[in-house]
A and B are shown apart, each in its own frame.
Chain A
């Protein structure tokens, strides 16, 4: 027993402990002690109110202040709207296309022809969201009002841009009639007919009307398929009104859509010449671009801007991860295996870094193989070019006359570049997601504008939906006001874009959808939101524990003691 113990404490336990623990003796010991004077009611209440007021300050002031100062700011987001957009509940895109008809006919006949053609068209169309509306291009002076309503509820000829296609009716005397010709460089369909094919006002159908209807249907078939595919892949309740697609069409459309680059207002095109040796070290790329690529880019200028740069890179070797080309006796050529094509671009060595500035870079690589490995082809197909989805294209340029001197190929002429440039143009067209049909380029581009507008609306909506999910799932991320602002802007522009689509003003819809997409992406990729994802609540406590611990102990002990004595007092009473 240590002698340092307090005198009053040491004597008492010794006596009590000897007999095994029974309560009566110890109670006796306590009873023996001098009792403190009974506590006055006033001091008891004073003590209790002191404890109570401390607790009140802690609970009502301390904890809220602590909570508030360490809380993460989360701006309010219109979560319900965002989810609704993502689920497609708000906007059901429709594509009412206006088709202007120029007919050298008396107004009465023209309106009748329109009406019958429209009937035939409506019968053919299975896809309700995509709707073709015929109208007279240059309405002759006040025509029959009732018929005008039949043709088109609202007469809107103000904007030329909104007319998807013009049909020109041209009376001819010779040749098979009716026949049609789609102009390759303007959205115009020429229909040749003999005057006797104009339907008489009494009849309900005519071969000319049916013919025009079928032609139109054929022209827009691919666009309809694309849109139908887009609607079916987008989440939500579009499936009900979608027309069924055959599995082959669907697979083909999927292939096209995975290939295509994401829409951007600016694309950077990089044309690179790679060779494993030192020749050719020059190419006449400037004039080749002017001849083969510039016209194509001009026609795309309505949708996107393009910057073009070129480079020459010598001594570019294959990456060690792919198998070196093998000589194939049957093809009399060096061959690359198809599975190695994905590793053909030696990303570590070849300087194909993205261009500076906003927008994706599309790479076109012209590879001139070594003389000892020429001609170089793909083993399975014997092809010399391939497309890398969402990245660019590769073309292998084998010298036309194998075995010729190096001097010939030291510089590539415009003519030598021709086939490769054609390949690159085709690759660019598929990378941009341009449909294969119809043959008129402006029509294809306007189709692209519609498809892009719709896909932008869908992608912006799904981005907003994802943001709403992140907001709900991760309560610890901060959400600044700028995100809320971007979300509001995105929602507003989405609504406007959807309205424009309904009005058939596709160019405007594309512009608005582009803004909506940009704002949605900006909100989703806000940098400050990811900052504190990995800073859990425990850290907040840990930093304050040295203060909170020592303060909390007396508070809690006092409260417990007081509660205990209060309870025993109650029981004693």
Chain B
């Protein structure tokens, strides 16, 4: 195996583009193990802050810009994510996790305000407006889902007066991200998915991916002190496609077994015969092309991007140099190779379709997969309707460096942690890894728990963090329609502080998966049963007392008969008469 360029550096190379033009886009393709492919789309549009203040929007979308101005938001980060990044197989996260969100929707922003109350009311304005813009239930981010992180997030942009900025963070782990969120996302782009790399984005394929995250980041960028400022909006889509799954034709998506004659059998197996066959694993890189994989062709370059220089190379693919790549286009394109030929970048033709075709190939070399700085997993333990515990396992794979990080939990109010049960253990030492704790307890129906821990893991060890919690019983109307499914708990956010540093201000992050918390659920027909039961009891009591008061009590033989023998007698008489008549007839 040859060692090639570090993925870390590669991302930095892709991200660091000069600010000469106002619109940049780049797609980086990178094959991952198990015949998957990571596609990282990145779109950046710039608007000078003067034009932004005057509401003259060119590359910056007007609807989005007006929301930011209306809510006095100086920096904004929105994430829509589905799926789990499989760090064991896929290695380090794209953008070091800085453009990734927890499952569902995550949103954090720096809002300018004089007081906390004002900041919160502007935050509500912001989430409500964004909810309409992105067709997402962002408006459900209320006080119970909002926290004010202390250590986990730092502003990426250059802010002049940071004292009046308030950071608010909200998550919706239950939100199902779907095609209706992609359409508004594409509309924010200057080329709108009609040209450029965004023409590859198709809702069916994007939301069919094993992992996908869409991110929008708005930040002010100033050049030097007192220099001119621009507002940068970065839109990112990262998706991990299963190549075999994506290549299925849309009109026939059900996988079918091929006829046995077409399968190459492993003749080494003992049971191999004419009718039994174990498919031969050839360990070959699968064949694919862009059109097949993304379900639509790449319609040339977006004409707004730079025409020369590094920024003109809008499509890059990171493969070993020996991998055969054919280009299929009628227009004029250019190919450049960099980083020991592991990164091939293409300048796309304008107005002509472009396709990359990679045939099936037996590889002798591979790329070195960058290992993540930390591995994290979190789960709920325990049983019963009353209590449970959370366990987070964080592993430091490095043999040399101790890692310092911040662990952020934002728990719903109905999951009440007992802080005194918080235990952090490292398997290699007895020292307490927790350096600093920030805790803001929940208030029922008003706010959720906010827990931030600064911890250190020594080299090559595993940290286990556990705490117990109590499950609250909700009011009848507070249950969602699918109450028995359980309640989603937002993913924990981990930010690395040392020794790893990212090249820019974005930081290094990773997120655990979200949790499903089963709560005791009542029988939902209960209120009606209660109404009926109480009514019956009251009516019984009333009837008895009333009858005692108004009835006249006489001897059994003194009961005045209704007609003869009461109601029954009357009916009997009728029947007898009928019988007599029938007998006569």
Main secondary structure, interface of B, reads helix
Is the CB of A417 closer than 8 A to any CB of chain B? no
Pick the contact of A311: B57, B303, B569 (CB < 8 A): B57
Who on chain A is nearest to B55 by CB? Answer: A309
The docked-state distance in angstroms from the alpha carbon of A308 to that of B535 is 64
Question: How many B residues touch A, CB cutoff 8 Å?
Answer: 57
**Which residues of chain A have C-beta atoms less than 8 A from B420's C-beta?**
none
Which one of A30, A33, A282, A353 contacts B58 once the chains associate, using CB atoms below 8 Å?
Answer: A282
Question: Which chain B residue lies CB-closest to A44?
Answer: B552
Task: State which of A20, A35, A550 has its C-beta within 8 Å of the C-beta of B543.
Answer: A550
Q: Does B280 contact A (CB under 8 A)?
A: no
Q: Is A356 an interface residue (CB 8 A)?
A: yes
Question: Which of these binds chain A: B184-192, B244-252, B290-298?
Answer: B184-192
Distance in Å: Cβ of B217 to nearest Cβ of chain A: 20
Cβ-defined contact, B555 with A34, below 8 A: yes
Closest A residue to B577 by CB, please name it.
A20
> Knowing A16-B564, A550-B539 touch, does A308 contact B191 (C-beta < 8 A)?
no
Name A15-55 residues within 8 Å CB distance of B: 16-18, 20-21, 26, 29-30, 33-37, 39, 43, 47, 50-51, 54
Instruction: Using CB atoms, name the residue of chain B closest to A286.
Output: B56
Asked if B62 is at the interface (CB within 8 A of a chain A CB), the reply is yes
The residue in chain B whose Cβ has the minimal distance to the Cβ of A553 is: B543
Residues of B within 8 A of A351 (CB): 61-63, 187
A558 within 8 A of B: yes
A37–chain B nearest beta-carbon distance, Å: 8
In angstroms, how far is the closest chain A Cβ from the Cβ of B52?
A: 10
Q: Known contacts being A309-B62, A310-B57, A554-B546, is A281 close to B564, with CB within 8 Å?
A: no
Are A16 and B573 CB-contacts (below 8 A) given A351-B61, A356-B129?
yes
Task: Report the minimal beta-carbon distance from A51 to chain B, rounded to whole angstroms.
Answer: 5
Give the Cβ gap from A33 to chain B, nearest Cβ, in Å. Answer: 7
Complex partner residue of A17 from B51, B62, B569, CB under 8 angstroms: B569
B187: A residues at CB distance < 8 A? 351
Inter-subunit contact A551/B542 (CB<8 Å): yes
A549 contacts across to B, CB distance below 8 A: 539
Cβ–Cβ contact B54 & A30, under 8 A? no
Q: How far is the CB of B181 from chain A (nearest CB, A)?
A: 16
Residue of A nearest to B184 (CB): A351
Q: Contacts A17-B576, A282-B58 known; A547 to B569 CB distance under 8 Å?
A: no
Q: Is the CB of B563 closer than 8 A to any CB of chain A?
A: yes
Query: Given the known A-B contacts A36-B560, A281-B303, are A13 and B572 also in contact in the complex, defined by CB atoms under 8 Å?
Result: yes
**Contact of A281 with B304 in the complex, beta carbons under 8 Å:** yes
Bits for A283-324, please: 1 = Cβ < 8 Å to B, else 0: 001100000000000000000000111111011000000000
**Which residues of chain B are near A547, meaning CB under 8 Å?**
534-535, 538-539
User: In the complex, A546→B58 CA distance in Å?
Assistant: 66
Let me know if B546 and A285 touch, CB within 8 A: no
B222 at interface, CB cutoff 8 A: no
CA distance A304 to B560 in the complex (A): 89
Chain B 162-208 interface residues, beta-carbon cutoff 8 Å to A: 187, 190-192, 194-195
B6 at the interface (CB under 8 A from A): no
Closest to B132 in A: A353
**CA of A20 to CA of B554, assembled, Å:** 31
| A36 adjacent to B572 (CB under 8 Å) | no
Taking the complex as formed, is B556 at the interface, i.e. its CB lies under 8 A from any CB of chain A?
Answer: yes
Checking A14, A54, A285, A356 against B70 with a beta-carbon cut-off of 8 angstroms, the contacting residue is: A356
CA distance A307 to B572 in the complex (A): 90
The answer to whether A554 and B573 have CB atoms under 8 Å apart is no
Interface presence of B2 (CB below 8 A): no
Contact, CB under 8 Å: A356 / B66: yes
Question: B62 contacts A551, CB within 8 Å?
Answer: no
Answer whether residue B516 sits at the interface, using C-beta atoms and an 8 A cutoff: no
Q: What's the nearest-Cβ distance from chain A to residue B565, in Å?
A: 4
A390 to B546, CA, bound (A): 70
The chain A residue sitting closest to B193, CB to CB, is: A315
- On whether the beta carbons of B57 and A18 are closer than 8 Å, the reply is no
Determine whether A555 belongs to the interface, using a CB cutoff of 8 Å to chain B: yes
Of A12, A279, A546, which contacts B303 at CB under 8 A? A279
How far is it, in angstroms, between the C-alpha of A315 and the C-alpha of B304 when the chains are bound?
12
B554–A36 CB distance below 8 A: yes
Q: Does A278 belong to the interface (CB within 8 Å)?
A: yes
Can you name the residue of chain A whose Cβ is closest to the Cβ of B196? A278
Query: Known contacts A351-B61, A356-B67: does B546 contact A13 (CB below 8 Å)?
Result: no
| Chain B residues within 8 Å of A26, by CB | 563-564
Chain A residues near B539: list those with CB within 8 A: 546-547, 549-551
Within 8 A of B (CB), among A338-369: 351, 353, 355-357
| Interface presence of A427 (CB below 8 A) | no
Residues of A within 8 A of B19 (CB): none
Our pick among A13, A21, A355 for the contact of B66 (Cβ within 8 Å) is A355
| Known A315-B191, A351-B61; contact A543-B531, beta-carbon cutoff 8 A | yes
CB atoms of A9 and B535 under 8 A apart: no
Report the Cα distance A550→B555, complex, angstroms: 27
Flag if A47 contacts B67 (CB, 8 Å). Answer: no
B190 touches A47 (CB 8 A): no
User: Is A374 in the interface zone, CB < 8 Å from B?
Assistant: no
Per-position binary interface string of chain B over residues 524-548, scored 1 when its CB falls under 8 Å from any chain A CB and 0 otherwise? 0000000110111011101100110
When the two chains form the complex, which single residue of B58, B540, B546 contacts A54, counting CB atoms closer than 8 Å? B546
- For A282, what are the chain B residues with a Cβ–Cβ distance below 8 Å? 58
* Contact assessment for B54 and A286 in the assembled complex, using a CB-CB cutoff below 8 Å: yes
Contact of B569 among A13, A37, A555, A562 (CB under 8 A): A13
How many of chain A's residues touch chain B, expressed as a range?
35 or more
Q: Confirm or deny: A270 has a beta carbon within 8 angstroms of a beta carbon on chain B.
A: yes
| C-alpha gap A29/B61 in the complex (Å) | 98
| Contact of B194 (CB < 8 Å), options: A315, A551, A562 | A315
Complex-state Cα separation, A414 to B539, whole angstroms: 85
Contact A13 B61 (CB under 8 A): no
User: Which residues on B sit within 8 Å (CB–CB) of A35?
Assistant: 558
Q: Are A551 and B538 in contact (CB under 8 A)?
A: yes
Q: Residue-by-residue, is A537-572 near B (CB-CB < 8 Å gives 1, otherwise 0)?
A: 000000100110111001100100010000000000
A329 at interface, CB cutoff 8 A = no
CA distance A21 to B531 in the complex (A): 47
How many Å lie between the Cα of A307 and that of B70 in the bound state?
13
Chain B residues within 8 Å of A357, by CB: 70
Inter-chain CA distance A43–B554, complex, in Å, is 13
Once the chains bind, are B532 and A546 in contact (CB under 8 Å)?
A: yes
Neighbour of B191 across the interface among A21, A314, A554, CB < 8 A:
A314
Which of B67, B540, B543, B576 meets A18, CB within 8 Å? B576
Are A312 and B542 in contact, CB atoms less than 8 angstroms apart?
no
Q: Given contacts A351-B62, A550-B536, is CB(A50)–CB(B580) below 8 Å?
A: no
Roughly how many angstroms separate A380 CA and B59 CA in the complex, as a whole number?
36
How near does chain A come to B486, taking the closest CB pair, in angstroms? 32
Chain B residues near A355 (CB-CB < 8 A): 66
A8 at the interface (CB under 8 A from B): yes
A546 in contact with B564 (CB, 8 Å):
no
Chain B nearest CB from A409 CB (Å) reads: 13
- How far in angstroms is the closest Cβ of chain A from B463? 46
Question: Are the C-beta atoms of A47 and B552 separated by less than 8 Å?
Answer: yes
B485 at the interface (CB under 8 A from A): no
Q: Tell me which residues across on chain B come within 8 A of A12, comparing CB atoms.
A: 561, 564-565, 569
C-alpha spacing A547/B537, complex, angstroms = 9
B566 within 8 Å of A (CB atoms): yes
In the complex the two chains form, is B568's CB within 8 Å of A13's CB? Answer: yes
Distance A550 CA – B70 CA, assembled complex (angstroms): 59
- Tell me which residues across on chain B come within 8 A of A9, comparing CB atoms: 565-566, 568-569
Known: A12-B565, A29-B561, A546-B532. 17 other contacts (CB 8 A): A8-B556, A13-B564, A18-B576, A29-B564, A33-B558, A36-B559, A270-B62, A278-B191, A281-B190, A311-B57, A312-B57, A356-B67, A547-B539, A550-B535, A550-B543, A554-B543, A558-B546
18 CB contacts below 8 A, A to B, read: A13-B569, A16-B569, A17-B564, A17-B569, A17-B573, A17-B576, A18-B576, A26-B563, A43-B552, A50-B549, A278-B302, A281-B58, A309-B66, A314-B191, A353-B63, A357-B70, A547-B535, A550-B540
Instruction: Give the 3 A-B CB pairs with smallest separation, nearest first.
Output: A550-B539, A309-B55, A546-B535
